[in-house]
Structure 1
Amino acid sequence: MNSVAHTTNPPQMQHKRAFALPSLRAWLAAGQWLVTLLLCAFLIVPVVMSILAGLTVNYFQGVASGLTLRWLGEVWTQYHASVFLSLEIALATLVITLLTGVPAGYVLARSESRASRIIEEFLVLPIALPGLASALALLVVYGGFTMFRTSVAFIVVGHVVFTLPFMVRAVAAVCASSGLRTLEEGAASLGASFFQRFITIVLPNVRPGIVAGALAVVTLSIGEFNLTWMLHTPETKTLPVGLADTYASLRIEIGSAYTILFFIMTMPLLVAMQWLGVDATGQRNTRQKKTRVIDTTSSAENQS
């Protein structure tokens, strides 16, 4: 009886344990969640308020004045040409960066010479410089060619200069993996030519980097303002430049409606990047990588 009495906890002790204070680890976790939620609110609330301003009849009266799509209609009527022009410039920029950035990223990842590192630093230089400085450099060099200066191609060149490093870095990060080099060596030992290795081994394995770079290029091209503002003409006004004009010269409801239009264009690209599981360096989860490596190895062996 005495042993049973000693091993059994009294009801008062059980009651105290049930109402024990949270541990220090729990307090830290709660604090982290609180800070995260506050930061999210700090960033998201202005966006939500701007969207509401573009949907309300009168901004100064707020939602009580009613909701309307009138401002979106006016923005589309006045600036739909800028929307299509931004998409055309983004697609042209994407094509050029794909044709130049993918081979450049592959070569830079494979080369270990000092010259390749210097070239890589020069490619990244436009990111470190302000967009206005890059635009001024283009104007100084090519501003004298009137036909080129007033054409859409001039803006495309500026966007390529600005976005090419993102494509090169994303592709180079994947090409630098030792597994890809081993696959290429194995395919070469089986008699595959460089072209066959590049098509059947390199491109399938660097696809995550290409997708990441492509999404970054299109998103940055659509949203680029500083460089475009210096290079544009009244006939080559893009979406961000039009957004600045609406905030400067029109009522705030139209400017906010323009923000909604810009939001609609860019959000699908960001969601696509998350849905594909691709980060800024072009990496994906390990299981997908292993599956892709096995598939490309078997296809290379079959072709050889």
Structure 2
Amino acid sequence: MRRQWTTTAGIVITALLTLFLLVPVLLSVYAGLTVNYARGISAGFTLDWVKQVWALYSDTVWRSLVVALMTLALTLLIGVPGAYALVRRGGRFARAVEEIVTLPVAVPGLALALAMILTYGGAGSFRQSTLFVVVGHVLFTLPFMMRSVIAVLDTIDWRTLDEGAASLGSPAWRRFLDVILPNVRPGIVAGSLTVLTLSIGEFNLTWMMHTPMTKTLPVGLADAYASMRLEIASAYTLVFLVMVIPLLIGVQLVAGLTEKRTAS
């Protein structure tokens, strides 16, 4: 009886917390679809605000997708081999490198952006390009990719697998592609999900680093909140959700398929 009461209380608390988090989002979506939020449902519903947002800020949507995908590609190319190299090397040096890589997470985004501007602000074409924002995102998200892969490597006997493949004459690069990567796939998928969500929603770092020509979706959202009427700003939130939610569901589906393949 006591266990049943505890379970019921846990479900109720979880439901209340979920409702507490969802209500503001739902109200924002509602405001973006009403003709006049102050008048409420009686004013009717419209998609005009969404159309205005798309006309004004559609470039920020596509740019955010490009930045997120480029960030993901670079974190995969750097983070997965880097995580394997650190685990393989081990010792104090590997731990020191891991701490240095993790440092951007502990530093406020504005401070990291300021450091980037001070270092590369003189490189005009690079400073004004989308690649400059991508580099900032890579610095911020790389630790999450590396930690996800390292966590999986720590749970498997990768050394035995590697030595077994080496005894069969497989070169180092082939062992990494054919042995290590398939076994760390869950960590790669989890890291990819984290990198995508962080990159798409990142504001502090991007706000400091962007130029008028490299504005991303969260920065445009802040501009809409500051300078537009409430309905347009709320419609921007709706556009943000429509873009992000299918992407997250897609990555989750890939993660589920990966777990099934790994289990089989």
TM class, shorter-length: over 0.9
Q: Equivalent of 1:154, from 132, 142, 149?
A: 132
Q: For the structure 1 residues 87 and 276, does the alpha-carbon distance in structure 2 shift closer, same or farther, using more than 3 Å as the test?
A: closer
- What is the one-letter code of the residue matched to 2:163? E
Name which of 170, 191, 202 aligns with 1:192.
Answer: 170
- Counterpart CA distance in 2 for 1:200 and 1:24 is 51
> For residues 195-274 of structure 1, what are the structure 2 equivalents within 5 Å?
195-274=173-252
Runs of 5+ unmatched residues, structure 2: none
Note the 1:275-290 alignment, pairs <5 A: 275-277=253-255, 288-290=261-263
Tell me what 2:97 maps to. Answer: 119
Counterpart-to-counterpart distance in 2, 1:93 and 1:255: 27
Work out the CA distance in 2 between the residues paired with 1:175 and 1:265.
Answer: 33
- The alpha-carbon deviation at position 186 of structure 1 amounts to 1.3
Contact residue 52 and residue 63 of structure 1 kept, 8 A: no
The 3-state SS of whatever aligns with 1:178 is: coil
**Cα distance in structure 2, aligned partners of 1:136 and 1:67:** 43
TM-score, normalising length: structure 2: 0.94
The two structures have a TM-score, normalised by structure 1, of 0.82
The corresponding residue for 2:54 is 76
1:247-297, Cα deviation, whole Å (9 max, x unpaired)? 00001111111001111121123323433446xxxxx75x75353xxxxxx
Runs of 4+ in 1 over 4 A off after TM superposition: none
Q: Is 2:116 the partner of 1:138?
A: yes
Which deviations, in whole Å up to 9, do the C-alpha atoms of 1:143-189 show, x marking residues without a partner?
A: 12222222212111111111111111112222233333222221112
Aligned to 2:79: 101
- Please tell me whether residue 48 in structure 1 is matched to residue 26 in structure 2: yes
Q: Please list, as runs of the form range in 1=range in 2, the aligned pairs for 1:6-17 lying within 5 A after superposition.
A: none
In the alignment, which of 155, 164, 174 is matched to residue 142 of structure 2? 164
Distance 2:72 2:98 in 1: 19
- What percent of counterpart residues are identical? 55
Deviations 1:76-99 (A, max 9, x none): 001011111111111221221111
Contact 2:72/2:195, CA 8 A, preserved across alignment: yes
Deviates more, 1:43-52 or 1:89-98: 89-98
Partner of 1:11: none
Aligned AA (2:155): S
**Partner residue in 2 for 1:8:** none
Structure-1 separation of matches of 2:65 and 2:50: 19
Partner of 1:301: none
**In structure 1, how many angstroms separate the alpha carbons of the residues matched to 2:62 and 2:249?**
21
Q: Whose radius of gyration is greater, 1 or 2?
A: 1
Shift of 1:58: 0.8
> Which SS does the other structure have where 2:169 is aligned?
coil
- 8 Å Cα contact 1:110-1:175 kept in structure 2: no
Determine if contact 2:189/2:255 at 8 Å carries over to the other structure.
Answer: no
Distance 1:155 1:89 in 2: 7
**Aligned partners of 2:132, 2:203: CA distance in 1, in Å?**
14
Q: After superposition, give the CA deviation of every residue in 1:22-61 in whole Å (9 maximum; x if it has no partner).
A: x322222221111111101100111111111111111111
Instruction: State the distance in 2 between where 1:99 and 1:196 align.
Output: 16
- Number of the residue aligned with 1:294: none
Q: How does 1:11-50 map to 2 (within 5 A)?
A: 23-50=1-28
Residues 252-261 or 178-187, more deviating: 178-187
Higher RCO (CA-CA < 8 Å; seq separation 6+): 2
Task: Specify the SS of the correspondent of 1:60.
Answer: coil
Counterpart amino acid of residue 32 in structure 2 = G
